[in-house]
Chains A and B, each alone.
Chain A
Amino acid sequence: MTGAPPPFFPKAVRPSVSVTAALTLLVCVPLGRYAAPHPPERTVAAPWAPPGGRHPLGTDVLGRDVLSRVLAGGTQLLTVSLLAALAAVVCGAGLGLAAGWSGDRTARTVRALCDLLLAVPALVLALVLATALPGATAVVVAAVLAGAPLTARVVATQCAQLRDSGHVHAAVERGERTPAVLLHEVLPALRRLVAADAGLRLVTALQIAAALAVLGLGPQPPDPDWALMLSENLPGAALNPWALLAPAIPLAGCAWVFAAAARTAARVPGEAA
């Protein structure tokens, strides 16, 4: 390490491939709809036609153009997942800061809450919630209930350690109020941790959203949606496998990239993989 030349980029601003990819996906997927060559909801050919000619990926169960549906099908999934992840991180970080700052008893309560929510798997929780709530709301609530306690636990541990650090003591001595100390002194020190955690929450939310959509509890049939396309086109696996693979690839890609970005964000700068 000592003999290596100094890096061209300072560590703090060196672009990471996976984080850049994750942000690019979040921007580009909603624009896909405008690149679709056919209207994604309209029947344009025979059902399950193999790729070729005017339909590079063939057609689906109702003879709609697979390429157009894939291009248009990620927006709702990513929007719902993003909202759910954001809600989980905000709730979890808030709870974690409160627990970590106020000490033992609250921290124990948070740990008990974690154990409790760990006992009911998130998918089952989302399914039960989906009986009463619309699909998107069920995804958000399930992601918050399943994710926020995990975020809270990680944040609480770190926050409790930071409480004894010099710059926090200094702020308290200056007479700053607790919310200000937490917001300006503690939270910035935890930004890497929270960013990594947000990536994991996004992956979980995407999994829940995809599962509910596949089970018919999310977006409803004429809408193009990657997850819904999977269940619609599974019976035609032998006729046009591309109707299955084409939505599976971007869905898997998003999850993979988000997980990789979370790993990158969690890594302490300068430490090897």
Chain B
Amino acid sequence: MTLRTAGRALRPAGRAAALAVAATAVVFTATELLPGDAGELRTAGRASDEDVAAERERLGLDRPAAVRYLDWLSGLIRGDLGHSLAGGKPVATLFAERLPATVVLVAAALAVTALLTATALTVAYLRGGRGGSAATGLAAVPQPVHAAVLGAVLAGLLGWLPPVSLLPPGGSPLADPRLLALPALTLALPSAAFATVLLRGALADTLRRPHVADARLRGLPAPLVLHRHVLPFLYAPALQVTALLAGGLVAGTALAETLFGYPGTGQLLVSAVAVRDVPVIQAAALLPAAVLLLGMLLADLAARRTTVPGGPGPSVATAGRTV
């Protein structure tokens, strides 16, 4: 690798690192808004003021916020996520227990999303790049609605799937893929619609390029035009959208896992919010941000290798966002 390419690779990496640090600041600030703190939570309101103060001092909560932030950040870098306030287990252990289930769920959702998006875009291509508003509407529909309609139809009216995805403790979601179906579809439907909306624009732009019209006029068959003249322009946006979706899907697991009782990190975040377990909340909130930033970085680096001259710039990713 020459010095120049190394420099070009380092720039986005530096940007991603800066954004990652900024994301930790956002999360830390948001959790700082809590009225009570761990000292009160751990003594559960039964202790005297002196006991609460002693507990606070033991946990280091009497130090200024900036010091605690730097302390937490350096712990994050070392891989030390702190200890849960409820139960006292290391946060890293809690995550290690639940991460595999979430990874399987997100991977399944991403695969279904890719399949649905590819189908929708093929239809859009065959119709000459003109798209209906169905994808826009479907992407706007809140995720709980997707969950409820899928549950009512697949588990209720048809009875094909169990309405809750309770895994046995330590069990693998791969042992019974039926448990995976409802949460994965709930995640995949809105994100496929979202991806279609984002990529349809890139597709329409590509189809308007003169070389595509030229290839068609030369009488090349449609699949060949697609493969040779259209798809190369869609790789870079597709990679960026994938990174955006991966972050959004990890965030969406909070809903899908909680609704269907699927034991992953999203459910961990929601239950930590319910009991105000700050160290767990902080770590769980950073997970989607980390996936998003890492994905964007990889997409950025990959796009530099595959971008065709005059192709679309890195603009798709910020055009919209998932909730």
Contacts and interface: CB of A to CB of B under 8 A. Distances in A.
A230 B254 contact: no
B198 interface: no
- Most interface-central of A125, A237, A255, A260 (chain B CB within 10 A): A237
A186 interface: no
B114 interface: no
A115 B273 CA distance: 26
Interface in A173-204: 203-204
- Most interface-central of B30, B34, B141, B143 (chain A CB within 10 A): B30
Given A132-B35, A248-B149, A255-B142, A122 B255 contact: no
A129 B137 CA distance: 28
Contacts of B138: 256
A127 B143 contact: no
B285 A127 contact: yes
Interface stretch (A61-69, A92-100, A211-219): A211-219
A150 interface: yes
Interface in A107-165: 114-125, 127-133, 146, 150
Interface string B136-162: 111111111101110111011101000
Given A131-B34, A214-B255, A203 B140 contact: yes
A146 B140 CA distance: 16
Contact of A259 (B136, B157, B273): B136
A29 interface: no
Contacts of A237: 151-152, 155-156, 163
Given A131-B281, A263-B136, A244 B152 contact: yes
B318 interface: yes
Interface residues of B, number: 59
Contacts of A231: 144, 259
Contacts of A217: 273
B272 to A, nearest CB: 8
By DSSP majority rule, is chain A's interface helix, strand, loop, or mixed? helix
- Most interface-central of A117, A123, A133, A239 (chain B CB within 10 A): A123
B281 A128 contact: yes
B34 A132 contact: yes
Contacts of B20: 119
Given A207-B323, A263-B136, A116 B152 contact: no
B248 interface: yes
A241 B144 contact: no
Nearest to A245: B152
A235 interface: yes
Contact of A121 (B139, B141, B142, B292): B292
A131 B273 contact: yes
A27 interface: no
A116 B292 contact: no
A35 interface: no
Contact count band on A:
35 or more
A120 B144 contact: no
- Most interface-central of B137, B145, B321 (chain A CB within 10 A): B145
A118 B30 contact: no
B200 interface: no
B258 interface: yes
A227 interface: yes
A241 B30 contact: no
B140 A116 contact: no
Interface string B248-279: 10011011001110000000011001101010
B317 to A, nearest CB: 8
Interface of B: 19-20, 22-23, 26-27, 30-31, 33-35, 133, 136-145, 147-149, 151-153, 155-157, 159, 163-164, 247-248, 251-252, 254-255, 258-260, 269-270, 273-274, 276, 278, 281, 285, 288-289, 292-293, 318, 321-323
6 contacts: A119-B26, A233-B148, A244-B151, A251-B141, A251-B142, A258-B140
Given A131-B281, A235-B163, 6 more contacts: A118-B318, A118-B321, A131-B276, A211-B142, A216-B274, A230-B259
